[in-house]
Amino acid sequence: MHSPTELAEKFREKQLKLTPQRQLLFGLLHQNDSHPSAESLFEVASKQMPGISLRTVYQTLGELAEMGELQLVDVGTGAKRFDPNMTDHHHFVCESCGAVRDVEIAAKPKMRGGSGKFVISQVGVVFHGRCENCVPTAKRSPAQQAKK
Amino acid sequence: MHSPTELAEKFREKQLKLTPQRQLLFGLLHQNDSHPSAESLFEVASKQMPGISLRTVYQTLGELAEMGELQLVDVGTGAKRFDPNMTDHHHFVCESCGAVRDVEIAAKPKMRGGSGKFVISQVGVVFHGRCENCVPTAKRSPAQQAKK
DNA sequence: TGTTAATTAGCAAGGGTTGCGAACTAGATG
DNA sequence: CATCTAGTTCGCAACCCTTGCTAATTAACA
Ligand SMILES: [Mn+2]
Ligand SMILES: [Mn+2]
Ligand SMILES: [Zn+2]
Ligand SMILES: [Zn+2]
C-alpha cells in the first residue's frame, strides 16, 4: 500500500474526498502487518475517532482493495483480513490465537498436472498451525491478538 | 472417505444410528469429487429424499468431518466445501463458475524462513483462476456447477 | 458563503452456519 | 411383536460477517 500522503493524492485525483475517516484509516493501515479484520480495525479506529462507523471501515477497505492498495486475505477463520502488503507472499495462521503472519515464498509454486487446462490468476497458500506464543510447550495463555 | 458400507460399520461401533438420511448422504459423498457445499448436497439429497432438512445435512457433514472421514475446504467463495478425498492435495477454484478441482502436489511445500518458530499442522493451497469451461476464449456460458 | 456531489452512519437484510428443543425413530430388550 | 430409550431429525431462532439502502452530513470548489 502506498503511504497515507500518496493515497491522499490518489483519492483526490479520482475526486474522492479526503475525509477524516479515510485519513485515519490510511494511517492505521500503513505498514500494518497484523492482517486486521474490518472489526478489529474498527475497534482501533474508534479509539482515535469515537463515532466512526463499522460501515465506513468496510467501505474504505473495499475502496482501497478495488484500487489495488490492499488485498483481502481469507484464511478461513471467519472474517476476512486486510493486508496492505501487496508483495507476493503467503500466510501463516495460528489456530490458537488467530494471528496471521507473512510467509515469504522462496520460489513461485509451479502448476503441475494442470497441463494448460486452467488459467491461474492467483495462488493462495495458507499455513495453519501454532505461533510461538501458542505452541503447547509455552504455558502462557495465547495472546488473543487480532482474533476477531 | 470410506465406503458407505464401512461407514455404516463405523457408525454402529460408536452407537450412532444408521438412519436413512445418513445412508443417503454416505452414498452421495462416496467418491464425490465435486467439492459440494452443504447447500448443494442438500439440493441433491432432497431429490431422493424430499423432506430431508438442511440442518441434518450440516449435522452429518460435521460428524463425518470430526471422524476424519472428510475435510472442510474453505476456498473463500462463501460456503465451505466438503471433500471426501483425504489424500494430501490442493485445490483449484474457477473464479467464474465456482467449480473446485483437485490439484495433486508433486512435492510437499517446505517451510522456509519460518526457522522453527511455528508449528505447522496444515497447509492449504488454493489456486484461483478459470476452468476450461470458463476461459475467455471459450464462448459458451460458464457452467454454473456447484456454485452455491 | 453557497452549491453540490460525495460520504457517512445507522439500520435492515442477506448468506452461511450453529444452538436449541420438541417430536420422532433405530435398535435393543423381553 | 410391544416397549423402551438414547440418539436423531427438523424447524426455527439466533449468530457472525458483510452489504444494500437512505437520510443526514460534509469536503471541495466556484
Ligand atoms: Mn500478509
Ligand atoms: Mn479435493
Ligand atoms: Zn498464536
Ligand atoms: Zn469455470
| A31–chain B Cβ distance below 8 A for any pair | no
**Per-residue pLDDT reduced to its tens digit, A77-111:** 999 999 999 998 888 888 888 889 888 876 555 54
Average the pLDDT over each of A55-59, A82-86, A89-93, B121-125 and give the range with the smallest value: B121-125
Contact (CB, 8 A) for A93 and A103: no
CB atoms B113 and A104 under 8 Å = yes
Contact (CB, 8 A) for B88 and B104: no
Q: How far apart are CA B21 and CA B51, in angstroms?
A: 10
Q: How far apart are CA A65 and CA A85, in angstroms?
A: 11
Contact (CB, 8 A) for A110 and B90: no
Using N-to-C axis directions, what is the helix angle for B54-66 and B20-29, rounded to 10°?
A: 70
**Residue A45 CB lies within 7 Å of the nucleic strand C:** no
Whole-number Å distance, alpha carbon B18 to ligand 1 midpoint, is 46
Domain residue limits, chain B: 4-73, 87-147
Q: What number of H helices and E strands is found in chain B?
A: 4, 5
C-alpha cell at A25: 484509516
Amino acid at B119: V
**Per-residue pLDDT reduced to its tens digit, B8-27:** 999 999 999 999 999 999 99
CB atoms A130 and B121 under 8 Å = yes
Nearest residue to A127 (alpha-carbon basis) of B89, B117, B111, B68: B111
| Three-state DSSP state, B22 | helix
Q: pTM to 2 decimals?
A: 0.84
Q: What residues have their beta carbon closer than 5 A to ion ligand 1?
A: A 83, 85, 102
Right CATH for B4-73 from 1.10.3720.10, 1.10.10.10, 3.40.1210.10, 1.10.10.60? 1.10.10.10
Nearest residue to A83 (alpha-carbon basis) of A106, A54, A103, A97: A103
Distance from CA of B114 to the nearest CA of A (A): 7
Whole-number Å distance, alpha carbon A17 to ligand 2 midpoint, is 45
Which chain A residues are Cβ-neighbours of B129 within 8 angstroms? 118-122
Ligand with the closest atom to the CA of A75: 1
CB atoms A111 and B127 under 8 Å = yes
Find the CB nearest B74 among A76, A109, A135.
Answer: A76
Contacts of A76 (CB under 8 A, 6+ apart): A93, A126, B74, B76, B124
pLDDT greater at residue B101 or residue B128: B101
**Per-residue pLDDT reduced to its tens digit, B24-60:** 999 999 999 999 999 999 999 999 999 999 999 999 9
Question: Would you say the CATH fold of A87-147 matches that of A4-73?
Answer: no
| Upper half-sphere CA count for residue A93 (Cβ side, 13 Å) | 22
CATH code assigned to A87-147:
3.30.1490
Contacts of A46 (CB under 8 A, 6+ apart): A52
| A113–chain B Cβ distance below 8 A for any pair | yes
pLDDT greater at residue B96 or residue A61: A61
